[in-house]
Amino acid sequence: MSMQGSVLTVGKCLACLEFILFPVWRGIGLSGGVAAGWSQSWGRCLRLEPNSPGQGAPIPAYDYPVWLVLCRGGRARLEEVCQRGRGAIRLPTELLRLKLPQLYENYQVPKVFREDGIMSGYRHPRSSARDCVLSSFSMNNETMNIWTHFLPTWYFLWRFCALSWSMNFLTDSYTWPLLVYMVLICIYPFTSSCAHTFSTMSPESRHICYFFDYGALSLYSLGCAISYGHYVIPDCWVNTFLHQHFVPIAVGNTIFCTSLSCYSRFLELQFPQRSKVLRTGAFIVPFIFDTVPLFYRILLCVGGNCSSSGALSSHCYHLLFAFLTCFLFTAHLPERLAPGRFDYIGHSHQLFHVSAVVGTHFQMEGVIADMMTRRKWLLTHGAAPSFLGTVGVLVLSFVLNLGIIGVFSAPLLWKPWHSAPQQHTAATATAPATARELKEQ
């Protein structure tokens, strides 16, 4: 925003409205006594003074953009400034009309939206799509969740592009398992960040968003299986029954995983414990299955039969982060220990995102290293990957997963027109309609 010609002054804290200001660029050689270059400090305070032309000391006027990072309570304060300053300052009218979406405390939102240990920072449970998108640029309890998966999407895409320059994904069948894997590790963080962005449009949309999130994660487990089955499998398992049926079993796993995790959402309100156990189990089963060949190779290596240790060390880091991810998902630490302290930054879901992404990074490195170093051996001892067995399986599973999500979403989309199921009536009944209604509570 620009505060042209205003008498908003920045000084030492008196009766002070504190903001955190980014250092701002003042331009080169600005007139009016304001020094050029960057303003120095971060913690700043806005003091309002009436505009009296007879005053002695010239009041420096800010005619460059001031960026406010609105922290906890910052919104209310900005509104206060606008209210109090209406007469005194001539702020651009757009600023006064700027409606920052309000945030709510956990008791103000329906039960479906509440999260253990997160006390504030909730967005409106019936936000518009536009507000959802805007909310990802202002601080609330989901902002970090959105960005911790949105930025890694670009990282993985960049790695994918770099690989497609150095490899021949089009005609070299040996690279197809990697192709599938790379596509899926780009899809899952992206889906997740979309799910976090749009989950507050309604209770139904929240469920559907997370159905997609689970579907993408479950497809990611299939990507792991396809790449592990082709590149990571121990030498002595090549052409065994498990090797030949590894991918078909993994397809079964994704169907199981998506169905069970979507189903677990329906139990969330009545049986939170059971729902959590089911969901965790739904993701652990494919993970354990995928990792069996890797565990075996690590065992062999511990037993002194080590080949390609470079790839193995990446795989070990991956496993470490995978365990951490699983722990964070189930333990809800640290916010469980200090409810309200980690509402915006540092709650378990964020850490879970970060650890999942770091784990995926190491997994990708391991897979690529194995793929490069074992090419000759794998192609002479086993069959080359087929198009149907890689890309074909991906497309099939994609369609199957969409079907499952459709089956679970249909009742949510249809119900509001007839009679909503118990949990949803309870949820929507308490949804605050307006800000004023909330204040009256």
Ligand X SMILES: *[C@@H]1O[C@H](CO)[C@@H](O)[C@H](O)[C@H]1NC(C)=O
- CB nearest Zn ion: which residue? 192
| Binding-site partner at residue 115 among Zn ion, ligand X, none, CB < 5 to 8 Å by type | ligand X
| Binding-site partner at residue 192 among ligand X, Zn ion, none, CB < 5 to 8 Å by type | Zn ion
Q: Residue 308 contacts by C-beta under 8 Å, 6 or more apart in sequence?
A: 369, 370, 373, 374
Select 192 or 205, whichever has its Cβ closest to Zn ion.
192
Least distance CB 134 / Zn ion (angstroms) = 20
| Binding-site partner at residue 259 among ligand X, Zn ion, none, CB < 5 to 8 Å by type | none
| Binding-site partner at residue 141 among Zn ion, ligand X, none, CB < 5 to 8 Å by type | ligand X
Distance CA 373, CA 367 (A): 10
Distance CA 224, CA 209 (A): 23
353 labelled binding-site residue: yes
Contact 347, 141 (CB under 8 A): yes
Number of residues that bind Zn ion (CB under 5 A): 1
Least distance CB 107 / Zn ion (angstroms) = 23
153 binds Zn ion (CB under 5 A): no
| Binding-site partner at residue 230 among ligand X, Zn ion, none, CB < 5 to 8 Å by type | none
218 binds Zn ion (CB under 5 A): no
Q: Residue 403 contacts by C-beta under 8 Å, 6 or more apart in sequence?
A: none
192 binds Zn ion (CB under 5 A): yes
Where would I find the H helices in 137-202?
A: 143-166, 176-198
Contact 234, 300 (CB under 8 A): yes
Distance CA 27, CA 270 (A): 59
Strands (E), 286-336: none
Least distance CB 348 / Zn ion (angstroms) = 10
Single-letter amino acid code for the residue at 153: T
325 binds Zn ion (CB under 5 A): no
| Binding-site partner at residue 142 among Zn ion, ligand X, none, CB < 5 to 8 Å by type | ligand X
| Binding-site partner at residue 258 among ligand X, Zn ion, none, CB < 5 to 8 Å by type | none
Select 148 or 254, whichever has its Cβ closest to ligand X.
148
Select 44 or 347, whichever has its Cβ closest to ligand X.
347
418 labelled binding-site residue: no
Least distance CB 232 / ligand X (angstroms) = 33
Count CB-CB contacts under 10 A for residue 193. 23
363 binds Zn ion (CB under 5 A): no
141 binds Zn ion (CB under 5 A): no
397 binds Zn ion (CB under 5 A): no
Single-letter amino acid code for the residue at 222: L
Token reading at 25: 């660029």
196 labelled binding-site residue: yes
**What sign results for the dihedral spanned by CA atoms 214, 216, 220, 221?**
positive
Least distance CB 352 / Zn ion (angstroms) = 7
| Binding-site partner at residue 109 among Zn ion, ligand X, none, CB < 5 to 8 Å by type | ligand X
Token reading at 107: 């008791």
Binding segment for Zn ion (CB under 5 A), chosen from 51-59, 167-175, 184-192, 232-240, is 184-192
Least distance CB 343 / ligand X (angstroms) = 7
Tell me which residues touch ligand X (CB under 6 A). 109, 113, 115, 118, 122-123, 141-142, 145, 199-200, 347, 349
Query: Which DSSP letter does residue 231 get?
Result: I
**What sign results for the dihedral spanned by CA atoms 2, 7, 10, 15?**
negative
Per the document, the length of the chain is 441
Binding segment for Zn ion (CB under 5 A), chosen from 62-70, 164-172, 188-196, 202-210, is 188-196
Distance CA 26, CA 8 (A): 16
Q: Which residue shows structure tokens 């042209």?
A: 4
Least distance CB 115 / ligand X (angstroms) = 3
Least distance CB 109 / ligand X (angstroms) = 6
CA distances from 231 to 23, 243, 360, 400, 419 (A): 50, 11, 16, 25, 51
3-state secondary structure of 344: coil
DSSP string, 66-105: --EE--TTHHHHHHHHHHHHTTT----HHHHH--PPP-B-
Site residues for Zn ion per CB under 5 A:
192
Q: Which residues are annotated as a binding site for Zn(2+)?
A: 196, 349, 353
Q: Which residues are annotated as a binding site?
A: 196, 349, 353
